Amino acid sequence: MERISWNQYFMAQSYLLKSRSTCQRLAVGAVIVRDKRMIAGGYNGSVSGGVHCIDEGCYVVDGHCVRTIHAEMNALLQCAKFGVATDGAEIYVTHFPCVHCTKAIIQAGIKAVYYSEDYKNDPYAIELLQQAGVRTKKVPIETEPVHFEQRQLIGELLNKLEAHEDPEVEQFKEKARELFEIPEKQQT
């Protein structure tokens, strides 16, 4: 089995956290990492015990949902709540951070921001990160984490089916290769 890179591993974790989001406008996930260990994670959603946007809709004021706490902020607050230091850590986020999250990331001592998708990348946020010496790197997700194991399993099944020359089986093999983007002969 092929191992994914550290950047892909942690970015996949942010996508997994994103799947817990309760925001209807944009689901975001974030994971804070120090020394190749996850120290906190967050997703955008309402205050603990509060009403969720998925239940009653977003509470939008001046174009922003004020009910939602951003994923990056939730991850940072988790560290604060449990006394986990963030100085020198890195953060992996599904989307480029907003200005407010950028300021919190800088103040928390985060040294690098890895993001997968551009999202209203604010020029001031970019300037702040540069001034603070915080590295930024776009890391597009290569494999959705939910599908990674399925892709591996399908690849193994296709390899087992290589001995069969039934036309109907050939159609299924081709469809599976296209669906899961599996090369002709995947090594397992």
Q: Which residues are identified as catalytic?
A: 72
Kindly give the residue spans of alpha helices, DSSP state H, lying in the chain.
6-18, 53-56, 71-82, 99-107, 123-132, 145-161, 167-180
SS3 164: coil
Is there a contact between 36 and 7 (Cβ–Cβ < 8 Å)?
no
* 4's tokens: 């994914």
